[in-house]
A and B are shown apart, each in its own frame.
Chain A
Amino acid sequence: MSTLEIKDLHASVNGTDILKGLSLSVPKGEVHAIMGPNGSGKSTLAKVMAGHQDYEVGSGDVLLDGYSLLEMDVDERARAGLFLAFQYPAEIPGVSNANFLRAARQARLPDGEEIDAVAFYQEMYEKMAKLGMDKKFTGRSVNEGFSGGEKKRNEVLQMMMLEPKYAVLDETDSGLDIDALKIVAEGVNAMRSEERGFLVITHYQRLLEYIVPDHVHVLNEGRIIRSGPKELALELEEKGYDWLKEGELVKS
């Protein structure tokens, strides 16, 4: 039951089928990577799991510890323990990072209970320090005017503050230079635990040098066409995706 399980998922956007029977299981305590060429459906999978309204689920299910995420509203999914680190995080003018995080934490408390502001700020500053983020980011509007790297760090900060059961990282490496990549990876690695599962979506093998996965899955045309150990990522780097596409051999 302690798994994030995707079962034969079919999904489309604007009438175009993108996911065509995707199945995958991420137990707690493991890091799974999904790799795949552009257009294979990687980001669609992330958005569908989070509940983006532009994506329509045809059939299949996504179960978080046995409960169907697809039956829940977007915010309920998050409170149930799912976290999506976005490839392109939204900018929210006028809403400070601190107020944003506070609202997210507040939403997890029972009605009538108030967040302990002092403890909250202390925790936030500690976690920001780990990510090399200046304190001034707390007062700045969420992601507004942030560089690509700053946005990604901010995503990881949110993940650290919200401590999800399962985190989906959508192309968290894109837009990061090598130093930022190391910091972000350290943040993720520090959160690896028996109580948490990760699904790391990436186009390049580079990220997986720093966040070493337990399993690697290859996504093509909306389906997993190959699963294997972490070495599969290196093989892909060497041979490219075409090598797999030709055979389309599913092996797990």
Chain B
Amino acid sequence: MLLKEIPPARSFLDPPEEAREELPDWYKSSRSDAWMSFQDIDWPKRSDEAWRFANLKKLSYENLYDAKESEINDAEQLVASSLSLKENAGQILFVNDRVIASPLLNEEFSKKGVIFQPLSQALIEHGGLVQDHFMTETSRLGSAKYTALHRARLRNGFFFYVPEGVSLTVPVEVFHWVSGNSASIFPHSLIVAGPGSSATVAEYVASINDEISFCCAVCDIHGEEDSQLTYLRTQNLSEKAQSIYQLSSRVASKAKLKTFNLDLGCEWVRNESVSRLVGEGATSEMLAVSVPEKSQEFDMRTLQLHEQRNTSSNLLYKNALYDDSKTTFAGMIVVEDEAHQTDAYQTCRNLLMSDTSEANSMPGLEIKADQVRCSHGATSSPVSKDELFYLQSRGVKEPAAQQLLTFGFVKEAVDRIGNNSLEEVILGKLGRRFNKIGAR
């Protein structure tokens, strides 16, 4: 455990627990500084440009507490139900930000210098390496308050480091479970792909029970020269949960990064994703799928930041909205002065499965360089009548036809992951989701 256990429930608006003695000094002070910043920074307001369309009323902190160590009745069962891929290079399982099963990394990879550890352990064993990469990015899309909160309160997470030239042929997997009413977790993900390395990371966040909870997560990715990294995250927290998730990546020269985010759970979600292309020839592909229903609200803000020439980014977000659900997408492409010959694409497509769902899209562009190819577009529409008619004309009943078309709609983004076993995991989750909605 990273922190001393303190028995009484502690609201996360109270000062955080003290960090353990043996943790590095830089980390302890970073933590206390963050708590000071948190208190100084104003809460976001709907009138802030970065929070336009956001329904902040859905965020309530009144009765949220730092998640306590959970009593897991059947840890083995939980471990078994966590496994998603047939094969992985390693796995770490958390419940309430505490490791519940021994972290695993195939020996083959640990011999090559790969580090895959809970952050609490990595801070002690690889303090310098963690310090060089830990939360080096500033919050750019409006959630500075939550970035500070995360830094001040985080208890655990994982550190994944792939040394120069090492290739992991199968993904590593990280599971975060949350348990207990009004529990809040602050999982941290730190991924460093060394020069010329390649790896895949799959991270899953889910609730054990149908309870109120709050997840304030930060993921930092460093793709160094010539590296190839695929990172995938699925969020399936309870329908009463709230989630704020900030993903920042730095992609170096000729490195290729692909991120994929799937949101299914939560009453309210705020995702911020920033990809900085900091070296010539860097490539970033940003993919996301969400399927909100009932009164769920998913708010997504993105930034593709081209800082060097010959860089390319390609964003594709696809949302299928049911019932009274709502999505907000605000995407920005910035091409800096020096970033000539840049390719930047941004597409957000919303499929409206009901008359009462609402999709807000705000695509944006800011180009300061020459010879740039950029496009951005957002669409919102119901299922195509022609497609529906075609399916029905072959005898497929309307509900099944709707389901097939919606599945086809989101599949376009899933297909771009480019890893069959991961695509299967995602399609499996989506299939169950659509079946559940279809069976209502």
Contact = CB atoms under 8 A, between A and B. Distances in A.
B386 interface: yes
Interface in B362-390: 384-387, 389-390
A237 to B, nearest CB: 31
Contacts, number: 82
A107 B397 contact: yes
Nearest to A78: B395
A52 interface: yes
B407 interface: yes
Contacts of A104: 391, 394-396
Contacts of A93: 408-409, 412
B411 A92 contact: no
Contacts of A50: 389, 393
B72 interface: no
A214 interface: no
Interface in B399-432: 400-401, 404-405, 407-412, 415
A75 interface: yes
A67 to B, nearest CB: 15
Interface residues of A, number: 30
B391 A92 contact: yes
A74 B408 contact: no
B398 interface: yes
Given A90-B386, A100-B391, A141 B396 contact: no
B392 interface: yes
A73 B388 CA distance: 13
A51 B400 CA distance: 18
Interface string A68-109: 000001110111000010100111111100011001101110
Interface of B: 384-387, 389-398, 400-401, 404-405, 407-412, 415
25 contacts: A51-B392, A53-B385, A53-B389, A73-B398, A74-B392, A75-B393, A75-B395, A75-B396, A75-B398, A77-B393, A79-B395, A84-B393, A86-B390, A86-B393, A89-B390, A92-B390, A92-B391, A94-B409, A95-B405, A100-B404, A103-B391, A104-B394, A106-B400, A108-B395, A158-B394
Interface of A: 50-53, 73-75, 77-79, 84, 86, 89-95, 99-100, 103-104, 106-108, 141-142, 158, 162
